[in-house]
Amino acid sequence: MRRAIAARVEPHGLTVPQYTAMSILLRRSGLSNSQLARRSYVTPQSMNAVIASLEERGLIRRVRSRDHAWVRRTELTARGRRLLARCDAEIEAFERQMLSVLTDRQRTAFTEALSLVARQIESLEHDAQRSADADADADA
C-alpha cells in the first residue's frame, strides 16, 4: 500500500511521510511537532525534517501557540490544501480500483470494519495523548 501511495504522491513532489503529515493536518490543524510525529508514526526528529521541507515549499505554516510560547502549531496553507486535494483524488481513484474486486456487500463490510478499527485507533491515540498531556502538566 505504501508503494502505491508513493507512486501517486511522488509526481506531486511529496514523500509518503509528507503526504501523511498533510493528511493529518487537514483533519487536525494546529498540532505541535510531537503530536504530528505521534500521529504519523515517526520520530519527532524525522517530523522536523518533514515539517521543514513542507514549510519551505509553502505547503504548511507554523504559528506560535497561545498557550505555550515555545510550542509552534502547524497548519496547512491554501497551497498545501490544493496539493493535498490533487493527491487525495488520485489515491481515492486507486482505492476504488482496489476495492472493485469486492461485491457491494463485501465492500460495505470491509469499509465498516476499517472504520471501526480507525475509530479504535483514534480513541487509543486520544487516550495516549491525554495521558502524555497530563504527564507534561505534572512536570511543569
Instruction: Give domain limits for the chain.
Output: 2-101
Highest mean pLDDT: which of 17-21, 72-76, 133-137?
17-21
Q: Between helices 44-56 and 16-27, what is the axis angle to 10°?
A: 80
CA 108 – CA 2 distance, rounded (Å): 23
Supply the CATH classification number for the domain 2-101. Answer: 1.10.10.10
CA 31 – CA 132 distance, rounded (Å): 14
Would you call 86 helix, strand, or coil by DSSP?
A: helix
Encode pLDDT of 92-102 as tens digits. 999 999 999 99
Encode pLDDT of 48-65 as tens digits. 999 999 999 999 999 877
pLDDT at 17 over 80: yes
CA 93 – CA 95 distance, rounded (Å): 5
Give residue 120's pLDDT.
Answer: 93
Q: How many CB atoms lie within 10 A of CB 128?
A: 11
CA 116 – CA 110 distance, rounded (Å): 10
pLDDT at 83 over 70: yes
What are the residues whose beta carbons fall under 8 Å from the beta carbon of 113, sequence distance 6 or more?
Answer: none
Q: How confident is the model at residue 137 (pLDDT cuts 50, 70, 90)?
A: low
pLDDT, average across residues 17-34: 93
Whether the CB-CB separation of 76 and 22 falls below 8 Å is answered with yes
Write the DSSP assignment of 15-71 as a string of letters: -HHHHHHHHHHHHSTTB-HHHHHHHHTS-HHHHHHHHHHHHHTTSEEEEE-SS-TT-
